[in-house]
A and B are shown apart, each in its own frame.
Chain A
C-alpha cells in the first residue's frame, strides 16, 4: 500500500467523516464545525503542545548564555559547539524538545487542513473525490453533503479579505509571543524575519484558499495564543507593548516585576538572565550531574539579573575557569 493510501486510510478519511458527521450535530453549520473540531483537536494535542512550549521556554532561558559562548568562542567554532552542548545538557534543555512534539502534531494539522478543503467540495471533481472517502458503513454522512457553506458573513468556499487580515494579525501576535529575547544579531534578524514572514505568507494563503481554511487557521492560532499565554505569558508581545517602561519597573521592583515581562529590547544587551539555581551553584556548568530544575516554571523565582559592565566581566562565570 502506498504511503498516500495509508495516510488517507488512517488519518484523512476518518477526519473527513468525523467533520461531516459533526456538522449534523452543530445545526448543519460548517463554520461552527470547523471551530469546534479545531478546538477538540487542539485539546487532544495539548499534552504535546505543552511539552513543545515548555521546551521552547527552556531554550529561551539559555539564549543569553548561548550568545555569550558564541561570542567568547567566535574564533573556535568547534569549542563553541562543545560548550553549547554542555550548556544544554547541564541546563536540561533539549533542542529536540521543540521539534519532536511539533513533528508529531504536524500530520494532524495537515490532515485537518486537507479534510476541510475536501469537505468544502466546490467543483464536480471534488464531489466525485469526496464520494470515495465517505464510509459506506456510516450511512448518515452521505445525505449531509454538500454542507452549508454560509457562516457569518463568509462563504466558506471562497477567500475572504477580512478573514485573511485576521489570519495575518493573529499569526503576528502568536509569532511575537514566541519571539525569543536574544542578543545575537543574527538571531534577532531571523526572529524579525519570521515575525513578518509567517503572518504575511498565511494571509496570502488565506486569499488564495477557501475562507473555511482561514477560519481554521484563525481558530487554531487563537487557541495557541491562549495556550502560550498560560504557559509562558505574553512573551515578546509584552516586550513590544511596554518597552523600556517594563525594564525600568523591573529594575525598581526586582525579579517579581518581570514575572511575565521579558527583557526590554533596549536593555537586552546589558542584561543577562542567569538561572538562580546555577547562580547558587556558582554557575557550575562544569559540575557533572547538576541540572537546572527550571523547565517551564516561573522565571521570576529562579532568575536574577546581572548587570554586565560594558567591556567588563561576563555576566556569568564558570566554576573552575
Chain B
C-alpha cells in the first residue's frame, strides 16, 4: 500500500462505514414501506380489490378487463428526498373490500374508511371526514345497517352503513393495535388485538360481553361455528372458545404464528400457519386428525373452500388443493410470486392477488391460470 493512500485512511474508513450503514439501511428498510395486500370481493361478476397502487379497482371477471379504478388518496411524497425506498405516494390497502347494498367499503392504511357506489367509481363518503385514525389493516365487516372495523389505534368502531353516524356511543377500546378482521355471529362481534386478548362485543352498543387472554398478540380473523369461536394467536396456539362465555374448550400448538383465518368444514378445522403447515384438527376436541400438510413456505394468505377442496397459497406462490375427503394435497400451480393476500373463491375459481400487484384466476380443479387486469 502506498503511504499516500494510507493517509486517506480515516476518509476511507468513514466512507466504508457510511456505505455499509447506508446499504444496511436499504436492506433493512425494505419492509418498512407499507405496500398492502388487499383481498377482494365479487358481486355480480365484478371483482373489487384494493390495488398496491392505492386504488379501489373494479374488474370484470368474465373477460378479465379492468372496469374502473379510483385512488383512495394521494398524500404528498415522503422520505425527506434522500431515502433508499421510493416515497410513499399511494395509500397501502391491506383491508379487503366489503359490499352492502350498492356500496363498496374499503379501509386504508392512512386510517380512513371509504365508501364508493358499487356500480361506478363514485365516492360516497369517508370516515372520519376530516381527521384520520391510525392505520387500518384488518378488514371490514358489513351488515345491512352497520360497518364494523378495528384500527391500529386499538379501537373497534361501528358506523351506520351510510357512514353519517357512529353507531356506538364510543368506540370500544382495547389495549393494543387491532389488525384483526372482526367476525360477527348473531349479535356478537369477535375481534382480536395486539394486547393478546380476544374480545366479544355486543354489536348493538359495543359493550364487552367477555374477553379471553392468550399469551400472544392476535392478528388472525376469528371464525365462529357451532357456538365455538376459533382464533389463532402469536403464542402459536389455535384456541377454541365457547362463543357464549369465552371459556376455553381446547387449544392446539403449532410452530409459528397464526395469521390466516382458519376454515371449518365437516366438523374439521383447517388452520394455516406461518410455519408453512396446514393443521387439520377435530373442531370439537382439537385432536389432530392427520399429520399437518407441510407446504414449505409461510402461510399468511387465508385459504378458501371450493367444493370439497381447501385451496391454499403459500407465501412463495405455490397454490395447493387439499382434498377434505382423502386429506391429500395436490399442487395446482406455482405462480412463483409472493402471496400474502387472502384468497377469493367464486364458482369453482380462486382469485389470488400477488405482491407484484397481479391478480390471477385459478381453476380449482385443473389449475388453469388466467390473469385479470387490475393495473393501469
Binding site for B on A (CB under 8 A): 59, 66, 77, 80-81, 84-85, 88, 95-96, 98-99, 102-103, 106, 110, 113-114, 117-118, 121-129, 131-132, 134, 136, 139, 142-143, 145-146, 178, 180, 184, 187, 190-191, 194, 197-198, 201, 204-205, 207-209
> Roughly how many angstroms separate A178 CA and B11 CA in the complex, as a whole number?
12
Name the distance in Å between B163's Cβ and chain A's nearest Cβ. 25
Name the distance in Å between A200's Cβ and chain B's nearest Cβ. 11
Name the distance in Å between A45's Cβ and chain B's nearest Cβ. 14
**A84-B3, A113-B21 known; A125-B274 Cβ under 8 A:** no
Which range holds the interface residue count of chain B? 35 or more
> Roughly how many angstroms separate A99 CA and B1 CA in the complex, as a whole number?
13
- Contact check, A98 vs B28: say whether CB atoms are below 8 A apart: no
A-B contact pairs, 21 of them (CB 8 A): A81-B4, A84-B3, A88-B3, A96-B1, A98-B9, A106-B17, A113-B28, A121-B31, A124-B34, A124-B94, A126-B32, A128-B298, A128-B315, A131-B298, A143-B233, A191-B10, A194-B11, A194-B14, A204-B80, A205-B21, A208-B83
- A131-B274, A142-B234 known, 14 other contacts, Cβ within 8 Å: A80-B4, A81-B2, A85-B3, A98-B9, A98-B13, A124-B137, A125-B31, A127-B219, A142-B235, A143-B236, A191-B10, A201-B18, A208-B80, A209-B29
Question: Which A residues touch B298, using CB under 8 A?
Answer: 128, 131-132
Most B CB atoms within 10 A — which of A118, A136, A208? A208
Closest to B92 in A: A123
Name the distance in Å between A202's Cβ and chain B's nearest Cβ. 8
- Contact check, B7 vs A66: say whether CB atoms are below 8 A apart: yes
> Roughly how many angstroms separate A102 CA and B83 CA in the complex, as a whole number?
26
> Roughly how many angstroms separate A113 CA and B8 CA in the complex, as a whole number?
27
Question: Contacting B6 at CB < 8 Å: which of A95, A114, A201?
Answer: A95
Name the distance in Å between B30's Cβ and chain A's nearest Cβ. 8
Binding site for A on B (CB under 8 A): 1-4, 6-14, 16-18, 20-21, 24-25, 27-29, 31-35, 37, 79-80, 82-83, 92, 94, 109, 137, 177, 179, 194, 196, 215-217, 219, 233-236, 255-257, 259, 274-275, 298, 300, 315, 340
Name the distance in Å between B39's Cβ and chain A's nearest Cβ. 13
Most B CB atoms within 10 A — which of A81, A142, A194? A142
Closest to A190 in B: B11
- Contact check, A80 vs B3: say whether CB atoms are below 8 A apart: yes
**Interface class of chain A by DSSP:** helix
Question: Which A residues touch B21, using CB under 8 A?
Answer: 110, 113, 205
> Roughly how many angstroms separate A187 CA and B10 CA in the complex, as a whole number?
10
- Contact check, A128 vs B274: say whether CB atoms are below 8 A apart: yes
**A113-B28, A128-B259, A136-B275 known; A123-B33 Cβ under 8 A:** yes
> Roughly how many angstroms separate A123 CA and B30 CA in the complex, as a whole number?
11
Name the distance in Å between B2's Cβ and chain A's nearest Cβ. 5
Question: Which A residues touch B219, using CB under 8 A?
Answer: 127
Question: Which B residues touch A110, using CB under 8 A?
Answer: 20-21, 24
**A128-B259, A132-B298, A136-B256 known; A187-B17 Cβ under 8 A:** no
> Roughly how many angstroms separate A12 CA and B202 CA in the complex, as a whole number?
45
- Contact check, A143 vs B235: say whether CB atoms are below 8 A apart: yes
Question: Which A residues touch B257, using CB under 8 A?
Answer: 131, 142
Question: Which A residues touch B34, using CB under 8 A?
Answer: 123-125
Question: Which A residues touch B92, using CB under 8 A?
Answer: 123
- Contact check, B14 vs A106: say whether CB atoms are below 8 A apart: no
Question: Which B residues touch A129, using CB under 8 A?
Answer: 31
> Roughly how many angstroms separate A93 CA and B255 CA in the complex, as a whole number?
54
> Roughly how many angstroms separate A103 CA and B9 CA in the complex, as a whole number?
12
- Contact check, A143 vs B82: say whether CB atoms are below 8 A apart: no
Question: Which A residues touch B7, using CB under 8 A?
Answer: 66, 184, 187
- Contact check, B18 vs A145: say whether CB atoms are below 8 A apart: no
Question: Which B residues touch A208, using CB under 8 A?
Answer: 79-80, 82-83
> Roughly how many angstroms separate A205 CA and B255 CA in the complex, as a whole number?
37
Question: Which A residues touch B33, using CB under 8 A?
Answer: 123
> Roughly how many angstroms separate A295 CA and B12 CA in the complex, as a whole number?
23
**A81-B4, A201-B18 known; A142-B340 Cβ under 8 A:** no
- Contact check, A143 vs B234: say whether CB atoms are below 8 A apart: yes
Most B CB atoms within 10 A — which of A88, A146, A180? A146
